[in-house]
Amino acid sequence: MPPSPTIPMAGPWVTQSEVDMVTDAMTRGWYDQPYYYVETFQREFAAWHGRKHALMTPNCTTALHLLLTGLGIGEGDEVIVPDCTWIGSTAAISYLRATPVFCDINKDNWCLDPGAVRRAITPRTKAIIAVDLFGNMADWDALTDIAESHQLWLVEDAAESLGSTYRGRRAGSFGVGAVFSFHRTKTLTTGEGGMLLLDDDALYERCAMWRDHGRKPGGQTYFNYEVTYKYMPFNVQAALGLGQFRRIDELVARKRWIFEQYRARLGDIDGLQWNAEPPHVFNSIWTTALVLDPKWGLDKPTLIAELAKLDVPARPFFYPLSSLPAYGSMGERYQSINPVAYDVSNRGVNLSCAMNLSEAQIDHICDGIRRVLAV
Ligand SMILES: Cc1ncc(COP(=O)(O)O)c(C=O)c1O
């Protein structure tokens, strides 16, 4: 493949140990052990998170679809979600003909605001999906209290927070179930891939059956109990995942290193908000995000365009989902309902989180930001 002349926005760190595992899966992972790597990856991933069960899936969106199906979410139900997240957090709600209810985010950690959640609960609310955005951790104490007191399912979307902790508990250990993404841009990648973590045995059995055409794990051959999805993973993909997972500390340390490089070069500038790191959180910084104080008078599109002129890549902070055509372009109405989401999103960008960033490239990015801000 030709070398890339530009600074990448995102990308993984794959070493010979993953290549060796994938080669092993490619050469030996077919006949007697067609799910060896899938099962080993699931077992180790669940244990590391202190969860009882794990189910690998083709991606995180399908993991959420499985979980919401297993929880019985359906037509007429409402599911509370943060307004600023990737659509993968919410798409499955619509697949099941339930309704996403977009709630405001907290101005410090950019995750679901518990106060907004309380106000959004109706008799039709069945579940809350909280997202640990960019590696930041949601306010799990408050969200757990709300879910318990209103008897709602609480789901953790940990797609972006592998390796983060909240009061010493790992991202992925909160709520009735948690989901991860192993997309090619994520800290741990399988190209495309996902994982569902669960503790409840019956829910696990249901989700496992829904993952594989209504078959029960270990059940009779060609025997289907229900018409369900087919969301099965395969050995080669899981071998890459297992190889990456066995390097998890190194992968997270690299993400933290990138964040610290940005902070070392730009940390002296007042009026820049970075990923949240309160004392009770270890932030694994899937991507470094930067939210500009209003004093700069620069909105997100202007900042991205000015940086592009200097060959500095940046991506927009997630748009509020309520503002997007996919959800009816409801921006005019939702700006006052979720003011923090609209305000923060309009001032925020993601910087490159590519694992292979060099110090020279980070210098170039930070020089570009200084030039645009004229500081
Ligand atoms: C917060 C969040 N949730 C869900 C997803 C969906 O993940 P996937 O692309 O693996 O389906 C992503 C992926 O980018 C994400 O960032």
Ligand 1 pocket mutation, candidates 131, 181, 321, criterion most atoms within 8 A of CB:
181
Spatial contact of 272 and 294, defined as CB atoms under 8 Å apart: no
HSE-up of residue 54 (Cα within 13 Å, Cβ side): 24
Residue 366 Cα to ligand 1 midpoint, Å, equals: 27
Please indicate whether residue 154, judged by its CB atom, sits closer than 6 Å to ligand 1.
no
Q: Taking the alpha carbons of 366, 371, 374, 375 in that order, is the dihedral positive or negative?
A: positive
Domain annotation for the chain: domains and CATH numbers: 16-245 (3.40.640.10), 249-373 (3.90.1150.10)
- Verify whether ligand 1 is closer than 6 Å to residue 204 (CB atom): no
DSSP states along 352-372: P--TT--HHHHHHHHHHHHHH
pLDDT at 225: 96
Listed residue (123, 119, 91, 87) closest to 103, CA to CA: 119
Rounded Cα distance, 347 and 110, in Å: 12
Residue of minimum CA distance from atom 4 in ligand 1:
88
- pLDDT, one tens digit for every residue, the chain (375 residues): 665 668 999 999 999 999 999 999 999 999 999 999 999 999 999 999 999 999 999 999 999 999 999 999 999 999 999 999 999 999 999 999 999 999 999 999 999 999 999 999 999 999 999 999 999 999 999 999 999 999 999 999 999 999 999 999 999 999 999 999 999 999 999 999 999 999 999 999 999 999 999 999 888 999 999 999 999 999 999 999 999 999 999 999 999 999 999 999 999 999 999 999 999 999 999 999 999 999 999 999 999 999 999 999 999 999 999 999 999 999 999 999 999 999 999 999 999 999 999 999 999 999 999 999 999
- What is the CB-side half-sphere exposure of residue 330 using CA atoms within 13 A? 14
Distance from the alpha carbon of residue 154 to the mean position of ligand 1, in angstroms = 18
327 close to 100: Cβ distance less than 8 angstroms: yes
Examine the residue annotation and report whether 186 is marked as an active-site residue of this protein. Answer: yes
∠ CA 317-353-282 to the nearest 5 degrees? 85
Q: Measured from the CB, is residue 86 less than 6 Å from ligand 1?
A: yes
The atom number, within ligand 1, closest to the CA of 185 reads 14
| Contact between 179 and 194 (Cβ < 8 Å) | yes
Give the atom of ligand 1 at the shortest distance from the alpha carbon of 192. 10
Catalytic residue among 52, 107, 126, 186: 186
Residue 157 Cβ < 6 Å to ligand 1: yes
Cα(360) to ligand 1 centroid in Å equals 30
Of the candidates 346, 349, 339, 344, the one whose C-alpha atom is nearest the C-alpha of residue 102 is 339
- What pLDDT sits at residue 218? 85
